Each structure stands twice: as C-alpha cells, then as structure tokens.
Amino acid sequence: MSILVDENTRLLVQGITGSEGSFHTRKCIEYGTKVVAGVTPGKGGSDFDGIPVFNEVERAVKETGANVSMIFVPPAFAADAIMEAADAGIPLVVCITDGIPTQDMVTVINYLHGKATRLIGPNCPGLISPGKCKVGLMPGDIHRPGNVGVVSRSGTLTYEAVAQLTEQNIGQSTCIGVGGDPLIGTTFVDVLRLFEKDPQTKLVVLIGEIGGTAEQEAAEVMKKEMTKPIVSFVAGSTAPPGRRMGHAGAIITGSSGTVSEKIAALKAAGAAIASSPAEIGSVARKVLESQT
C-alpha cells in the first residue's frame, strides 16, 4: 500500500498550459502518473499533449473522473483554484504554488473546514508513492519502492533524505512535502496518522525546520498514537531569531520555534535524531536494523 496517491490516481492539473504546469505535468506522465485532464480558463476544448483541457474543474471531473488535482496557478488566483477543486468534490488537492498571501490561505483553510477535500501545501513539492504515482516536482529517479515514509517541511531536504535512503538500499512507501508556509492544509500530525495506519510503512522519517510548533505537535502524537519508529532531523540550528530562513514559516518568533526546543520534544517522544542532514540515511538504517 501507500498513502494518498497510487496507481489508481487520476490527476487533473490546474494551470496545465503554463510554463511550470506544462513542464511538471510531462514529468509526472513520464513517471507513469495517469494525467487525465487539465484546466485553464479560456482554453477549454483544446488539448495538451492529447490531454483534454477544460475551462472549469467541475466539468473536467465529470468527464474524466479525476480524483486528484495539482495546482500550478499564479499566487493571486491559487486560493480560488483550491476552492474550485473542493467545490468539484476532488478528495485530494496538491498546491505547488508559493507566495500565496496569508490572508488568502486563512480564507482557504476556513472554507475547507468540514469538507471532504484534503489539501497538501501550498508552497510544497508534492508527493510520490515510488513506482506508483508522482504528483509534484520531485525527481522520480532517486526514489525506490519500500517501507519508509518520509514527511518534510522542506522540498530540498526531502530529496536529500530520499537519495540517502536509496543509497542505503532503503525504499520508500510515500514521500510528502507538506509545505513551508505558516498556514498549510495537511500537517505533520495528519501525515503521521496516515503512516501509522499504512501496513506498508515500517518507519517514518520526519524533517522539520525552525519556526512554528509543528514538530512539537508531531511529538505529542508520537507519544500517544505512534507505534512505528521515527527518525527526525530539524534544520536551522544556526538561524538567528527574527530572520526568515527560506520558507515563509521558517522564522523564529519565540523559544518554541528554535531547533533545540523541537529536537528536545522529538527526542522525548522517542525519535532517533540525526544531527546533520548527512546522517539521515545512516540513522534510518540503524533504526531499521534494531527492529529486526
């Protein structure tokens, strides 16, 4: 098994005819993802590499059976795109777009409350279930099927962790970048619970960074609900307070946002801590070997 996407995924791409959307759509198709529709207002009735393009998400879903949307819409229109996908009943929306105004995301989060649609992102690399389906930006060739789940706030560190796992002959069940903005749809807590229920996943790699309390919230769930081992790395040990480091959410605004506080919480919850990104693969290997 895997979580959220697999060989049954039927992908719709909002913004399929833009430069980023078209490039990454082709990469998803090359990986084997079933892309069944695109949406670009004003270009309905045309096609993209033989894939039908629609003006509205609702019609695209009705005619193609799309069940996942990937969004490459410019920031000013991304919130409306997310809500349009939810209105069309798409169960999973992956928003790659970065730079969405925070107030727009407040509206989106409130709008999705109580609805069946799960949002991943925004400002995220997407997700991949190796050998089954890729929805996002990640390089498919570094992944291999296996039993380690990966969840991260950083796209680049996700790729680094996956490359190390693959070098250690450790495959992955599903890898998810939840996004680095202050307001996101799917959190560490949500993904940990999904991995806990997934029989294929035997270990989880969690990659955090400075800012916010996502790692501490994950640690509480680890204590109370997780039976599977966790390996964790938290980026930003040298970041000065009050200065944004890369992601909009990676800024220390209080003691809870520091690396030391996050590591302390994760360690207390039983996570094996990698002290540098270069150690993620080797620490995962040691933990897996200790389980056998």
At residue 279, what is the residue type?
A: E
Q: Which two tokens stand for residue 88?
A: 């069309």
Crossing angle between the packed helical segments 75-87 and 102-112, to the nearest 10 degrees: 0
Q: Catalogue the long-range contacts made by 107-116 (C-beta closer than 8 Å, 24 or more residues apart).
A: 107/79, 108/79, 108/82, 108/83, 108/185, 109/183, 109/185, 111/83, 111/86, 112/82, 112/83, 112/86, 112/185, 115/86, 116/89, 116/91
Pairing of strands 126-129, 47-48: unpaired
Annotation marks residue 247 as catalytic: yes
Q: Which two tokens stand for residue 47?
A: 């096609």
Say whether 59 sits in a helix, a strand or coil. helix
Candidates 24, 113, 143, 247; catalytic one: 247
Angle at 153 between CA 129 and CA 134, to 5 degrees: 20
| Residues 278, 279, 281, 287, Cα dihedral to 10° | -170
Active-site residue list: 247
